Every structure is written in structure tokens, then in C-alpha cells.
A and B are shown apart, each in its own frame.
Chain A
């Protein structure tokens, strides 16, 4: 369920680091907790996002939740699919429905994040 090559935050974001690029999303646990997602608000390309600061929001039928940047960097790409089809975030949060890609400005920050195994322990999920 939770890919081993991702790293995870306590706020239920994931990041996949490939060279100096980080692809960011929210976890399957997060989408389940949120329920039916109706809007995804993302930053613009070129915006600098900072570790632990809000980079956008996800809105479900029930409520709005901030998305926090798992790492710092400059936004290089946003997932345009989500403007048209926010429900994809309920269906494929670890794949097709990634949120943004950033150019990492402080790659060492990744040490603070959880592995898949640690994250699953954290959410009390069964393996």
C-alpha cells in the first residue's frame, strides 16, 4: 500500500525524491480520512515552498485541510489533472494524483521524514 521509495510526514504527505526533484502527494490514509474530495488548491509554478509550511489545500465534502510541504524547494510543475478531476485523489493518491513537483533547495531535510514502515506504524495500519 505505502511505497517503500516514498518518504512520509506526520501530516500525511508523501514525497518521492529523484535526483534533485521531489514529487509530493497526500497518502492513502489522508484521502480516506478526508472522504470525497471536491477541490484541490495548489501553488503556482515558481513559488518557493518551505518545509512544514502550507503549500495548498484539499477540500472534501466535509472540510478543508492544508497540505504541508514535506521538503523545501521551488515548484516546477503542478498536476493539472486535479483541477478537472479532484476525485482522482481518492482513487490513486500515490500515483496519478500526485500534487506538485519541486526542485529541492535543502535535500538533507529528507532525514526528518518517515520510511514506509515507520509511517504505517505511525498510522497504526496493518501491513
Chain B
């Protein structure tokens, strides 16, 4: 007999419950999937503002004179090109070119990098980076020191600005500032996973509940809503962003996942570089493609994809798109079929249903 291990909780767990959230086990974390409804929360973020508890995300910090060298060796993007206060999306790869994780790298100081990583991967990522550390650098597992709130939507800036003296307009997309939110020390990054403008705020866990409540209070005039992982998923899907365990995993390379832009071959050696160069030389066999359903149904994670009647790939994510009012998703296809405009079929409960590959992102906000 073995008891299921207790789920991990964020500092906001009891608040989610008091707000009536539906809680789910998300990679070992007890997290809110929705409060009032996924579509409703999704639309709040597209039209006004929503706040997400993403404290389950992991944080890893690299310190030391050779922190940049370790970060550049461990990740695919060009760490040495970051300015202090700048963030970048990047990949953490195995030597064979598959993803350990997809991450955000923030340059805090010349000798200090702050990594935000996926919740379910954090211990694995930490061990992985530590195993690569033959530099004059120290790798710290810092997840316990941070809670994270994501405030997202066209009214995110107006909302957060009421709680901080930091001039948020001066923080550009994918930059961050260290300052205070509700008088608590905070790292405020203009990043997000929704396709809208917004901020991801890192604070000490002890301050998280107070800041969450304040965000909801000052956002009320804009119609702010607490949003769960359900809306987070539909928002990121519309915005064409990958989710670890779906579009990317240990068997998938950045070239296959359509994120060659985060791979900087010319930056010098990094883990996975040789494998990716070989893939590039030979040509990749499969490629991620966006699709839209033409027939009735939703192609979901794991469903088989047919090209000319034969099995050719699989769906990685699929959902109704609340913004576009269509059913959308991502799938892997043989590279020669992965261009937009290709007629495909998706096996939905033993029935082939028509779909077509399309350009991604599915949704782009008006600038």
C-alpha cells in the first residue's frame, strides 16, 4: 500500500478555495483550474485584466563570476547578449537535442542570473544545470523564496501601477525592474504566457496573499478576474506558445518545435548544439504545425492525425478558442506536410474529422 504523496500548495491555496476555485492536481501541485469559468476568465484577460497565481513555477539562480558562462553553456539562447534588467525565452536541452525544459532567463547583474522554470521540471532542471557546472559559478534552487503572480491583459499596467512606485511604462516587453509592490520587495517583469501585455511579479511567499488581494481590489474598476490554469492554457494556445509535456519534451528538439529563434548556433558551445547542427544538416523529419478544425469536434492532446488517410502525426494541444470561436490546436506532422494550408484529418473518438493547418500564432493582439 502506498499513500498518494500530498500535493504541494502555493501561499494562496486557502484564498483560491475561499474564492470557490475548482482545484486540480497539476504536476503534483494543488492548483486552481478555474474560478467562474474558463471562457469568462479568458475573456477578462483579452478585454481587461486577470490575475493568475503561478507560484508553482520554479526559480533557479546562478551567481558568480562565470554565471553567464554557465548560463550560456546550459541554455540555447544568447545569455551574453542580455543587458541587466532584460529577460529572454530559452531552451534547456539534453546533449541529444531534446528539451529538459523551456525557461525564462533574467539578467539581474553581471554575476547573477534568475531563471523561471516549469513547476513539474524544477528539481530536474536544477540537477541538470548543476551537473553542467564546471565554471566559477554557484547554482541555487530558490523556488521556496518566491511566489509569483501574473497580472495580464490590456488593463494590467493600469492595475499594477496603482500598487508600485516603479514606472511600469518604462519597463519594455521582456525587461524587468526590481522595486516594490504593496511596499514589499518585488521583481516586476513585463512577460507573460497569454499573448497580452502584462507583468509577472516575483515576491517573497509571505507577501503573496496581501498583494493578490490588493491586485483584485485595485483591478475591480477594470473588471479584473482571478484566473485559473484552464484560462492560462487557452490563452497561451491562442498566442501560439508551447507547453512543456505537450508541444515540447525530452524527445522534441527546438528545431522540430518551431523555435529555432531561441537557438543561437553562433554563440559558442552549448549543450545540444552538435545534435541540433546534425538535425539541421540532415533536415528535420517532423515539425510542429497549428491547425484549425473544419469539421465538428476538438482535436485533443494525443489524438492521431491523418494525412491522405494514413497516420502521420499526433495532436499536442487542442481546445476551443474563446477569442476566435473556432477549435484550434497544435500537432506534429512530417516536415513536408507542416506548412499552412494542408488538409489533414484528426481521429476524434474513432471518427476522422477534417482540419487544416494554419499559421500561428492563432491570435495576435493589436499593438
Interface residues of A (CB under 8 A from B): 32-33, 35-36, 38-39, 57, 59, 61-64, 90
Contacts and interface: CB of A to CB of B under 8 A. Distances in A.
Given A38-B298, A39-B298, A62-B319, 17 more contacts: A32-B22, A33-B22, A35-B22, A35-B33, A35-B38, A35-B230, A36-B37, A36-B38, A36-B39, A38-B320, A39-B297, A61-B319, A62-B38, A63-B300, A64-B298, A64-B300, A90-B37
B232 to A, nearest CB: 12
A59 B40 CA distance: 17
Nearest to A87: B39
* B: interface residue count bin: 10 to 19
B34 interface: yes
Nearest to B228: A35
Contact of B39 (A39, A61, A63): A61
Nearest to B20: A32
A2 B85 CA distance: 56
Contacts of B234: 61
- Interface SS of chain B: helix, strand, loop or mixed? mixed
18 contacts: A32-B22, A33-B22, A35-B34, A35-B38, A36-B38, A36-B39, A36-B40, A39-B296, A59-B298, A61-B39, A61-B319, A61-B320, A61-B322, A62-B33, A62-B38, A62-B230, A64-B300, A90-B37
A61 B230 contact: yes
A57 B349 contact: yes
Which 3 pairs between the two chains have the least Cβ-Cβ distance?
A: A61-B38, A36-B39, A38-B320
A64 B351 CA distance: 15
Interface string B22-33: 100000000001
Contacts of A32: 22
A35 B233 CA distance: 14
B352 to A, nearest CB: 16
A26 to B, nearest CB: 16
Contacts of B322: 61
A36 B43 CA distance: 13
A50 to B, nearest CB: 19
A47 B247 CA distance: 40
A36 B22 CA distance: 13
Contacts of B300: 63-64
Nearest to A61: B38
Interface in B332-367: 349
Contacts of B39: 36, 61
B245 to A, nearest CB: 15
